């Protein structure tokens, strides 16, 4: 059973601030790390899938890095906007090829 | 493509009643997943199918839960009898393959309330 942890649990930032949060996961039997964005009353939307140590992915103002040796991934948002308010979930795929989700970081961007 | 379709979007029922949740995956996707979202346990996998065959149902909480996939375009998750602790949001997701690096596409979810 994989134990994926995210921190912080929730975060409030001002519009224009840059922010980042962490996903920690077991480094053994690592296969892939997924980031999802989940807005209230909508379905989780895939942001990134990363597999290689040192991977860095970017989508607009959002980017993510991966360290498989120490078991963590960071998600960065540059110049946060109110529409970035959502819960950001990470999930690890292990040898069983199933997603194990963290509990998420709930981001609120204040105008 | 319309994406993953789930119905109903909301379901309110009384304890002891049978509840059936429905899912239509994205056409061409070979894998279908059922998840449950609760405050206590977050998003947890209940069961998944590959080419309509259940592969791993170890996440199904107990015998009151059952899932079927009679064809490539339809799956059901049934709870009988339902209990208040089953109240949660149930998501269906599908993916092209089960490689682990493939993206899972989620439906809008069914919010179940058992009174």
Q: How many residues comprise chain A?
A: 111
Q: Is the pLDDT of residue A17 over 80?
A: yes
Nearest-by-Cβ selection for A31 from B100, B108, B109: B100
Whole-angstrom distance, CA of residue A23 vs CA of residue A35:
9
The chain A residue lying nearest B103, using CA atoms, is: A46
Which positions of chain B have pLDDT values less than 70?
Answer: 1
Q: Per residue in A48-89, pLDDT tens? A: 999 999 999 999 999 999 999 999 999 999 999 999 999 999
Which residue in the block uniquely carries the two structure tokens 């996903």? A23
The tally of CA atoms less than 13 A away on the side-chain side of residue B115 is 4
Contact A88, A20 (CB under 8 A): no
Q: Do B103 and A46 touch (CB under 8 A)?
A: yes
Q: Per residue in B12-32, pLDDT tens? A: 999 999 999 999 999 999 999
Whole-angstrom distance, CA of residue A94 vs CA of residue A67:
15
Whole-angstrom distance, CA of residue B9 vs CA of residue B25:
15
């Amino acid at each position: 059973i994989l134990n994926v942890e995210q921190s912080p649990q929730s975060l409030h930032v001002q519009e224009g601030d840059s922010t980042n949060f962490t996903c920690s996961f077991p480094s053994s039997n690592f296969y892939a790390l997924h980031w999802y964005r989940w807005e209230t009353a909508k379905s989780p939307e895939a942001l990134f899938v990363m597999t290689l140590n040192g991977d860095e992915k970017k989508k607009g103002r959002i980017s993510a890095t991966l360290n498989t040796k120490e078991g963590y991934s960071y998600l960065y948002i540059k110049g946060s906007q109110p529409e970035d308010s959502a819960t950001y979930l990470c999930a690890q795929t292990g040898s069983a090829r199933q997603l194990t989700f963290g509990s998420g970081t709930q981001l609120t961007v204040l105008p | 493509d319309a994406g993953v379709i789930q119905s109903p979007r909301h379901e309110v029922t009384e304890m002891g009643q049978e509840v059936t949740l429905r899912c239509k995956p994205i056409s061409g996707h070979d894998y279908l997943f059922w998840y449950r979202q609760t405050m206590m346990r977050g998003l947890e996998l209940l069961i998944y199918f590959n080419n309509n065959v259940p592969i791993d149902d170890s996440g199904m909480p107990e015998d009151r839960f059952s899932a079927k996939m009679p064809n490539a375009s339809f799956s059901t998750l049934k709870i009988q009898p339902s209990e208040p602790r089953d109240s949660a949001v149930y998501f269906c997701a599908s993916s092209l393959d089960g490689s682990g690096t493939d993206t899972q596409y989620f439906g809008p979810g069914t919010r179940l309330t058992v009174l």
